[in-house]
């Protein structure tokens, strides 16, 4: 923030010293508009101080930006100076463009949606038994490993068909219901979180989902995801369990109205038929936009996901 203020101050002082009576050159005017700058922010090198295209390019390269908007009701806090002892042990690093975009989108989602989270837990024994029984045959036939994401994605698309509000989005005073399921998968990379999208996941088999997820995950790690790979999602799944997360409240991926958080599978004692048994349990969390999704719908959605995973034959039989 201090660097930003310093840049603005430098821009203001330099521009005030070189106000031109000549209008900017046409190419410069176009670049000024594209960068949301005014001519008095740029030093003109043309006749009588006229601003040329090269001057705008140089100004942008220096980091001169548009003047700050009128202060909001709650202005951004400016970081106070560190003590002399601490300052020598700190390192200031510019946020990457990706991290800036992530930060803005998450804060916008938090400020816009009436976000709420509901929780449940699922007994993963049935899915794990099915996976262990068929994983070798599955990999031999389809050339891809059988993980849990295929089961979760199919369970989600079944639940979304029954509860379309969770798959919808708000546009002004309208609700847009989508008769398709483009499921985003949050993937952590060295540069930050990206959310590639499995398009028409509701029309795909578990094998097709696993293949597409493998392709997208590899592209995310390689940094070769295209914009098309990350656009158009209607619902998102995030799996903190791979890092050991036991419970979390995920933030919506705007403008979507729902995001499902998966977590670590942990053996726990549970009561089944009046007996205490050890089962592989996973907590599930559904964050949703309460403006469009009612509590009953959110809870029912999560129950449907739980039912599908605890009885995976339902996914095969489309029940």
Beta-bridge partner residues of 171: 174
In contact, 263 and 248? CB cutoff 8 Å: yes
Measured CA to CA, the distance from residue 310 to residue 128 in angstroms comes to 10
- The residue whose two tokens read 């001169």 is 64
Q: 315: number of CA atoms within 13 Å, CB side? A: 26
In contact, 120 and 306? CB cutoff 8 Å: yes
Question: What backbone phi and psi angles, to 5 degrees, belong to 289?
Answer: -90, 110
Catalytic residue numbers? Answer: 290, 294
Smallest Cα–Cα separation from 257: which of 231, 303, 293, 285? Answer: 293
Measured CA to CA, the distance from residue 286 to residue 242 in angstroms comes to 18
Helix (H, G, I), strand (E, B) or coil at 234: coil
**Where would I find the beta strands (DSSP E) of 57-191?**
115-123, 169-171, 174-176, 183-185, 187-189
DSSP structure class, residue 20: -
């Amino acid at each position: 923030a201090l660097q930003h203020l310093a840049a603005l101050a430098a821009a203001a002082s330099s521009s005030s010293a070189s106000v031109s009576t000549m209008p900017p050159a046409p190419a410069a005017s176009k670049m000024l508009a594209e960068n949301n700058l005014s001519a008095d922010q740029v030093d003109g090198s043309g006749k009588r101080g006229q601003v040329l295209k090269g001057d705008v390019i140089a100004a942008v390269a220096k980091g001169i930006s548009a003047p700050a908007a009128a202060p909001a009701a709650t202005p951004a806090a400016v970081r106070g100076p560190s003590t002399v002892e601490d300052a020598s042990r700190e390192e200031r690093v510019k946020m990457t463009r990706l991290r800036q975009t992530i930060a803005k989108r998450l804060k916008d989602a938090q400020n816009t949606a009436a976000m709420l989270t509901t929780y449940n837990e699922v007994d993963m024994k049935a899915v794990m038994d099915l996976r262990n029984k068929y994983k070798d045959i599955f990999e031999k036939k389809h050339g891809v490993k059988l993980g849990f994401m295929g089961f979760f994605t199919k369970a989600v698309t079944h639940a979304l068909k029954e509860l379309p509000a969770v798959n919808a989005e708000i546009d002004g005073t309208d609700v847009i219901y989508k008769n398709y399921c483009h499921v985003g998968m949050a993937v952590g990379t060295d540069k930050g979180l990206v959310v590639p999208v499995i398009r028409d996941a509701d029309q795909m088999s578990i094998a097709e989902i696993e293949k597409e997820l493998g392709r997208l995950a590899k592209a995310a790690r390689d940094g070769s995801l295209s914009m098309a790979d990350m656009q158009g999602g209607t619902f998102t799944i995030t799996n903190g369990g791979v890092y050991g997360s036991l419970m979390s409240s995920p933030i919506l991926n705007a403008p979507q109205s729902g995001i499902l958080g998966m977590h670590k599978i942990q053996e726990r004692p549970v009561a089944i038929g009046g007996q205490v048994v050890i089962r592989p349990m996973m907590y599930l969390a559904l964050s949703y936009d309460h403006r469009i999704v009612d509590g009953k719908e959110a809870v029912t959605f999560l129950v449907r996901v739980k039912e599908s995973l605890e009885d995976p034959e339902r996914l095969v039989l489309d029940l």
